Chains A and B, each alone.
Chain A
Amino acid sequence: MPPSIPICFRMPPMEFFAIELVYSAIVVFLCFLIYFKTKEIYDLSRYKGIYHFRNAFLFLSLAYLVRLFIASFAFSIQLFDSRIEAPPNEWLMVRVLILLISYFSFMAIFSIACSLLWKKLESGILQHDVVLHAIALALSSFIFLTRSYYLFILFHIALLPILILTAVINYRSSEKRGPFISQIYIIYFLLFAFWVVNIAFLPLRGLQIEVRIPFYAASVLIMSLIAYRVVKIVS
Protein backbone atom coordinates (compact mmCIF):
# COMPACT_ATOMS: atom_id res chain seq x y z
CA MET A 1 0.00 0.00 0.00
CA PRO A 2 1.56 3.33 -1.07
CA PRO A 3 2.27 5.84 1.69
CA SER A 4 -0.41 8.50 1.93
CA ILE A 5 0.60 12.07 1.09
CA PRO A 6 -0.13 14.56 3.89
CA ILE A 7 -2.97 16.84 2.90
CA CYS A 8 -0.94 20.00 3.42
CA PHE A 9 1.51 18.90 0.69
CA ARG A 10 -1.13 18.32 -1.95
CA MET A 11 -1.42 21.12 -4.45
CA PRO A 12 -4.65 22.92 -5.38
CA PRO A 13 -5.04 23.86 -9.06
CA MET A 14 -2.82 26.53 -10.52
CA GLU A 15 -5.63 28.98 -11.31
CA PHE A 16 -6.66 29.04 -7.65
CA PHE A 17 -3.10 29.61 -6.54
CA ALA A 18 -2.55 32.24 -9.21
CA ILE A 19 -5.61 34.26 -8.21
CA GLU A 20 -4.95 33.97 -4.48
CA LEU A 21 -1.29 34.79 -4.95
CA VAL A 22 -1.90 37.81 -7.20
CA TYR A 23 -4.67 39.11 -4.93
CA SER A 24 -2.63 38.68 -1.76
CA ALA A 25 0.49 40.15 -3.39
CA ILE A 26 -1.41 43.28 -4.51
CA VAL A 27 -3.05 43.83 -1.13
CA VAL A 28 0.14 43.19 0.84
CA PHE A 29 2.08 45.47 -1.54
CA LEU A 30 -0.47 48.28 -1.09
CA CYS A 31 -0.44 47.87 2.71
CA PHE A 32 3.35 48.00 2.82
CA LEU A 33 3.33 50.94 0.41
CA ILE A 34 1.10 52.87 2.83
CA TYR A 35 3.26 51.81 5.78
CA PHE A 36 6.60 52.81 4.26
CA LYS A 37 5.38 55.96 2.49
CA THR A 38 4.21 57.37 5.83
CA LYS A 39 7.48 56.55 7.63
CA GLU A 40 9.08 59.94 7.01
CA ILE A 41 6.14 62.05 8.18
CA TYR A 42 5.81 59.85 11.25
CA ASP A 43 9.54 60.02 12.08
CA LEU A 44 9.37 63.82 11.87
CA SER A 45 6.09 64.36 13.70
CA ARG A 46 5.86 61.37 16.09
CA TYR A 47 2.13 61.97 15.80
CA LYS A 48 0.09 59.26 17.56
CA GLY A 49 -2.66 59.23 14.93
CA ILE A 50 -0.14 58.52 12.17
CA TYR A 51 1.47 55.83 14.36
CA HIS A 52 -1.83 53.93 14.74
CA PHE A 53 -2.73 54.49 11.07
CA ARG A 54 0.58 52.91 9.96
CA ASN A 55 0.17 50.03 12.40
CA ALA A 56 -3.30 49.29 11.01
CA PHE A 57 -1.88 48.66 7.54
CA LEU A 58 1.13 46.75 8.85
CA PHE A 59 -1.12 44.33 10.76
CA LEU A 60 -3.55 44.11 7.85
CA SER A 61 -0.72 43.12 5.50
CA LEU A 62 0.39 40.40 7.95
CA ALA A 63 -3.21 39.18 8.26
CA TYR A 64 -3.50 38.93 4.46
CA LEU A 65 -0.25 36.96 4.30
CA VAL A 66 -1.55 34.43 6.84
CA ARG A 67 -4.87 34.36 4.99
CA LEU A 68 -3.05 33.20 1.85
CA PHE A 69 -1.65 30.19 3.75
CA ILE A 70 -5.05 29.34 5.24
CA ALA A 71 -6.83 29.71 1.92
CA SER A 72 -4.34 27.42 0.18
CA PHE A 73 -4.52 24.85 2.95
CA ALA A 74 -8.31 24.89 3.28
CA PHE A 75 -8.77 24.66 -0.47
CA SER A 76 -6.32 21.75 -0.69
CA ILE A 77 -8.32 19.76 1.84
CA GLN A 78 -11.65 20.53 0.17
CA LEU A 79 -10.36 19.73 -3.28
CA PHE A 80 -8.44 16.52 -2.73
CA ASP A 81 -10.12 14.54 -0.08
CA SER A 82 -12.65 15.94 2.27
CA ARG A 83 -13.62 12.47 3.47
CA ILE A 84 -10.18 11.73 4.92
CA GLU A 85 -9.58 13.18 8.32
CA ALA A 86 -6.47 15.28 8.41
CA PRO A 87 -3.82 14.19 10.93
CA PRO A 88 -3.97 16.11 14.24
CA ASN A 89 -0.72 18.01 13.61
CA GLU A 90 -2.13 19.45 10.37
CA TRP A 91 -5.23 20.73 12.14
CA LEU A 92 -2.98 22.17 14.84
CA MET A 93 -1.16 24.07 12.09
CA VAL A 94 -4.48 25.45 10.80
CA ARG A 95 -5.48 26.47 14.32
CA VAL A 96 -2.15 28.24 14.87
CA LEU A 97 -2.64 30.08 11.55
CA ILE A 98 -6.14 31.10 12.66
CA LEU A 99 -4.68 32.29 15.97
CA LEU A 100 -2.20 34.43 14.02
CA ILE A 101 -4.73 35.81 11.55
CA SER A 102 -7.11 36.65 14.43
CA TYR A 103 -4.39 38.49 16.32
CA PHE A 104 -3.22 40.51 13.29
CA SER A 105 -6.77 41.21 12.21
CA PHE A 106 -7.92 42.43 15.66
CA MET A 107 -4.81 44.58 15.92
CA ALA A 108 -5.53 46.13 12.50
CA ILE A 109 -9.10 47.00 13.52
CA PHE A 110 -8.03 48.31 16.94
CA SER A 111 -5.27 50.38 15.35
CA ILE A 112 -7.58 52.05 12.84
CA ALA A 113 -10.06 52.81 15.67
CA CYS A 114 -7.21 54.22 17.79
CA SER A 115 -5.98 56.35 14.89
CA LEU A 116 -9.40 58.04 14.87
CA LEU A 117 -9.88 58.24 18.63
CA TRP A 118 -6.35 58.52 20.06
CA LYS A 119 -6.98 62.01 21.48
CA LYS A 120 -9.93 60.76 23.50
CA LEU A 121 -7.99 57.71 24.68
CA GLU A 122 -4.94 59.69 25.87
CA SER A 123 -5.93 59.63 29.51
CA GLY A 124 -7.37 56.09 29.49
CA ILE A 125 -5.89 52.65 29.72
CA LEU A 126 -6.22 52.10 25.95
CA GLN A 127 -3.47 54.64 25.27
CA HIS A 128 -0.97 51.88 26.06
CA ASP A 129 -0.14 49.63 23.13
CA VAL A 130 0.36 46.68 25.43
CA VAL A 131 -3.34 46.79 26.41
CA LEU A 132 -4.41 46.59 22.75
CA HIS A 133 -2.03 43.67 22.16
CA ALA A 134 -3.34 41.94 25.29
CA ILE A 135 -7.00 42.31 24.19
CA ALA A 136 -6.19 41.06 20.67
CA LEU A 137 -4.24 38.14 22.10
CA ALA A 138 -6.99 37.28 24.60
CA LEU A 139 -9.68 37.25 21.88
CA SER A 140 -7.43 35.23 19.54
CA SER A 141 -6.57 32.74 22.27
CA PHE A 142 -10.27 32.31 23.05
CA ILE A 143 -10.91 31.50 19.38
CA PHE A 144 -7.91 29.13 19.37
CA LEU A 145 -9.10 27.29 22.47
CA THR A 146 -12.76 27.03 21.41
CA ARG A 147 -11.70 25.92 17.90
CA SER A 148 -14.51 27.98 16.46
CA TYR A 149 -13.93 29.73 13.15
CA TYR A 150 -17.48 31.04 13.35
CA LEU A 151 -16.65 32.77 16.63
CA PHE A 152 -13.75 34.42 14.82
CA ILE A 153 -16.12 35.75 12.16
CA LEU A 154 -18.68 36.73 14.80
CA PHE A 155 -16.11 38.80 16.73
CA HIS A 156 -15.20 40.60 13.52
CA ILE A 157 -18.80 41.30 12.61
CA ALA A 158 -19.31 42.65 16.14
CA LEU A 159 -16.30 44.95 15.76
CA LEU A 160 -17.61 46.59 12.57
CA PRO A 161 -20.35 48.64 14.34
CA ILE A 162 -17.69 49.74 16.86
CA LEU A 163 -15.59 50.95 13.94
CA ILE A 164 -18.58 52.92 12.61
CA LEU A 165 -19.13 54.41 16.07
CA THR A 166 -15.48 55.55 16.33
CA ALA A 167 -15.82 57.19 12.91
CA VAL A 168 -18.96 59.04 14.01
CA ILE A 169 -17.32 60.23 17.26
CA ASN A 170 -14.23 61.30 15.35
CA TYR A 171 -16.25 63.21 12.75
CA ARG A 172 -18.28 65.06 15.39
CA SER A 173 -15.21 66.09 17.37
CA SER A 174 -12.99 67.09 14.42
CA GLU A 175 -12.15 70.77 14.26
CA LYS A 176 -10.52 70.53 10.87
CA ARG A 177 -11.87 68.34 8.16
CA GLY A 178 -10.25 67.73 4.81
CA PRO A 179 -12.43 67.39 1.69
CA PHE A 180 -11.83 63.64 1.69
CA ILE A 181 -12.86 63.08 5.32
CA SER A 182 -16.48 61.96 4.89
CA GLN A 183 -15.38 59.49 2.22
CA ILE A 184 -12.53 58.04 4.27
CA TYR A 185 -14.91 56.74 6.95
CA ILE A 186 -16.90 54.87 4.32
CA ILE A 187 -13.66 53.57 2.81
CA TYR A 188 -12.39 52.39 6.21
CA PHE A 189 -15.68 50.61 6.84
CA LEU A 190 -15.67 48.97 3.40
CA LEU A 191 -12.03 47.98 3.82
CA PHE A 192 -12.80 45.99 6.97
CA ALA A 193 -16.20 44.80 5.74
CA PHE A 194 -14.49 43.27 2.70
CA TRP A 195 -11.86 41.83 4.99
CA VAL A 196 -14.58 40.10 7.02
CA VAL A 197 -16.20 38.83 3.82
CA ASN A 198 -12.78 37.57 2.70
CA ILE A 199 -12.18 35.56 5.85
CA ALA A 200 -15.78 34.43 6.12
CA PHE A 201 -15.67 32.95 2.61
CA LEU A 202 -12.53 30.95 3.21
CA PRO A 203 -14.07 27.80 4.68
CA LEU A 204 -16.96 27.71 2.21
CA ARG A 205 -16.95 24.56 0.18
CA GLY A 206 -16.84 24.88 -3.56
CA LEU A 207 -16.87 28.64 -3.75
CA GLN A 208 -16.26 29.40 -7.40
CA ILE A 209 -13.49 31.64 -8.66
CA GLU A 210 -16.14 33.65 -10.56
CA VAL A 211 -17.66 34.58 -7.19
CA ARG A 212 -14.34 35.30 -5.53
CA ILE A 213 -12.96 37.59 -8.23
CA PRO A 214 -15.53 40.45 -7.89
CA PHE A 215 -14.94 40.52 -4.13
CA TYR A 216 -11.20 40.55 -4.60
CA ALA A 217 -11.45 43.29 -7.22
CA ALA A 218 -13.58 45.47 -4.94
CA SER A 219 -11.21 44.88 -2.05
CA VAL A 220 -8.19 45.85 -4.16
CA LEU A 221 -10.04 48.93 -5.42
CA ILE A 222 -10.70 50.17 -1.88
CA MET A 223 -7.13 49.54 -0.78
CA SER A 224 -5.86 51.29 -3.93
CA LEU A 225 -7.99 54.36 -3.14
CA ILE A 226 -6.37 54.69 0.29
CA ALA A 227 -2.87 54.06 -1.07
CA TYR A 228 -3.45 56.62 -3.83
CA ARG A 229 -4.48 59.31 -1.31
CA VAL A 230 -1.50 58.51 0.91
CA VAL A 231 1.02 58.60 -1.93
CA LYS A 232 -0.50 61.77 -3.40
CA ILE A 233 -0.17 63.65 -0.12
CA VAL A 234 3.22 62.47 1.12
CA SER A 235 5.10 62.38 -2.19
Chain B
Amino acid sequence: MRDRKRERLEIIHDILKIIREHNNSILPTPLLRYSNLSSQRFNEYLSELIEKGFIREVFDKKGRRYLSLTDKGFKYLEKYKKIIEFIEEFGL
Protein backbone atom coordinates (compact mmCIF):
# COMPACT_ATOMS: atom_id res chain seq x y z
CA MET B 1 0.00 0.00 0.00
CA ARG B 2 1.40 3.34 -1.02
CA ASP B 3 1.50 5.97 1.68
CA ARG B 4 1.37 9.04 -0.49
CA LYS B 5 -0.70 10.44 -3.27
CA ARG B 6 0.54 9.27 -6.64
CA GLU B 7 1.24 11.97 -9.16
CA ARG B 8 -0.13 11.99 -12.70
CA LEU B 9 3.13 10.88 -14.36
CA GLU B 10 3.50 8.03 -11.88
CA ILE B 11 -0.07 6.82 -12.44
CA ILE B 12 0.48 6.80 -16.21
CA HIS B 13 3.72 4.90 -15.70
CA ASP B 14 1.98 2.34 -13.47
CA ILE B 15 -0.86 1.76 -15.98
CA LEU B 16 1.53 1.33 -18.90
CA LYS B 17 3.82 -0.93 -16.86
CA ILE B 18 0.92 -3.23 -15.93
CA ILE B 19 0.03 -3.61 -19.61
CA ARG B 20 3.63 -4.38 -20.53
CA GLU B 21 3.95 -6.94 -17.74
CA HIS B 22 0.91 -8.77 -19.11
CA ASN B 23 2.54 -9.50 -22.44
CA ASN B 24 1.28 -6.21 -23.79
CA SER B 25 -2.33 -7.35 -23.83
CA ILE B 26 -4.80 -6.97 -20.98
CA LEU B 27 -8.54 -6.57 -20.53
CA PRO B 28 -9.74 -3.27 -18.99
CA THR B 29 -11.19 -4.93 -15.83
CA PRO B 30 -7.94 -6.50 -14.53
CA LEU B 31 -6.09 -3.35 -15.53
CA LEU B 32 -8.48 -1.31 -13.38
CA ARG B 33 -7.92 -3.71 -10.47
CA TYR B 34 -4.10 -3.65 -10.73
CA SER B 35 -3.92 0.09 -11.25
CA ASN B 36 -5.39 0.78 -7.81
CA LEU B 37 -7.57 3.67 -9.00
CA SER B 38 -11.24 4.46 -8.67
CA SER B 39 -13.34 3.49 -11.66
CA GLN B 40 -13.91 7.11 -12.62
CA ARG B 41 -10.26 8.11 -12.44
CA PHE B 42 -9.21 4.96 -14.27
CA ASN B 43 -11.59 5.74 -17.15
CA GLU B 44 -10.31 9.31 -17.33
CA TYR B 45 -6.71 8.12 -17.53
CA LEU B 46 -7.53 5.37 -20.01
CA SER B 47 -9.37 7.75 -22.34
CA GLU B 48 -6.46 10.20 -22.15
CA LEU B 49 -3.86 7.53 -22.84
CA ILE B 50 -5.81 6.18 -25.82
CA GLU B 51 -6.41 9.68 -27.15
CA LYS B 52 -2.73 10.62 -26.82
CA GLY B 53 -1.59 7.42 -28.50
CA PHE B 54 0.09 5.62 -25.58
CA ILE B 55 -2.42 2.74 -25.61
CA ARG B 56 -4.39 1.16 -28.44
CA GLU B 57 -7.53 -0.92 -28.27
CA VAL B 58 -7.51 -4.35 -29.94
CA PHE B 59 -10.72 -6.39 -30.35
CA ASP B 60 -10.66 -10.18 -30.58
CA LYS B 61 -13.07 -12.36 -32.58
CA LYS B 62 -15.56 -12.38 -29.71
CA GLY B 63 -15.52 -8.59 -29.61
CA ARG B 64 -13.63 -8.36 -26.32
CA ARG B 65 -11.56 -5.22 -25.90
CA TYR B 66 -7.87 -5.72 -25.09
CA LEU B 67 -5.47 -2.91 -24.32
CA SER B 68 -1.92 -2.81 -25.74
CA LEU B 69 0.94 -0.37 -25.66
CA THR B 70 1.88 1.59 -28.75
CA ASP B 71 5.47 2.52 -29.59
CA LYS B 72 4.85 5.81 -27.78
CA GLY B 73 3.73 3.88 -24.70
CA PHE B 74 6.92 1.80 -24.72
CA LYS B 75 8.94 4.98 -25.23
CA TYR B 76 7.28 6.56 -22.19
CA LEU B 77 8.26 3.59 -20.00
CA GLU B 78 11.79 3.75 -21.34
CA LYS B 79 12.12 7.48 -20.64
CA TYR B 80 10.13 7.66 -17.40
CA LYS B 81 13.15 7.59 -15.09
CA LYS B 82 14.80 10.38 -17.05
CA ILE B 83 11.64 12.50 -16.95
CA ILE B 84 11.39 12.11 -13.17
CA GLU B 85 15.10 12.75 -12.68
CA PHE B 86 14.83 15.90 -14.81
CA ILE B 87 11.83 17.20 -12.86
CA GLU B 88 13.54 16.58 -9.51
CA GLU B 89 16.89 18.00 -10.56
CA PHE B 90 15.39 21.29 -11.78
CA GLY B 91 12.72 21.56 -9.08
CA LEU B 92 9.92 21.62 -11.67
Contacts and interface: CB of A to CB of B under 8 A. Distances in A.
Nearest to B5: A175
Contact of B88 (A118, A176, A185): A176
A46 to B, nearest CB: 8
Interface centre among A170, A185, A234 (most CB of B within 10 A): A234
B72 A115 contact: no
Contact of A116 (B9, B79, B82, B92): B92
Given A44-B76, A44-B79, A180 B89 contact: yes
Contact of B87 (A44, A49, A179): A49
Interface SS, B side: helix
B75 to A, nearest CB: 6
A52 B4 CA distance: 26
Contacts of B86: 38, 41, 50, 230, 233-234
Interface in B63-83: 72, 75-76, 79, 82-83
A216 interface: no
Interface in A206-227: none
B90 to A, nearest CB: 6
Contacts of B89: 178-181, 184, 229, 233
A44 B77 CA distance: 10
Interface secondary structure of A, over-half rule = helix
B85 to A, nearest CB: 5
Contact of B83 (A45, A52, A175, A230): A45
A41 B91 contact: no
Interface in A1-60: 38, 40-41, 44-47, 49-50, 52-53
Interface in B33-92: 52, 72, 75-76, 79, 82-83, 85-92
Interface in B6-41: 9
A83 interface: no
B9 A115 contact: no
Contacts of B79: 40-41, 44
A52 B9 CA distance: 17
Nearest to A52: B92
A230 B75 CA distance: 19
B4 to A, nearest CB: 8
B88 A41 contact: no
Interface of B: 4, 9, 52, 72, 75-76, 79, 82-83, 85-92
Given A49-B90, A116-B92, A234-B82, 16 more contacts: A41-B79, A44-B83, A45-B83, A50-B92, A53-B90, A116-B91, A177-B88, A178-B88, A178-B89, A178-B90, A181-B90, A184-B89, A185-B91, A229-B90, A230-B86, A233-B82
Interface of A: 38, 40-41, 44-47, 49-50, 52-53, 115-116, 118, 167, 170-171, 174-181, 184-185, 229-230, 233-234
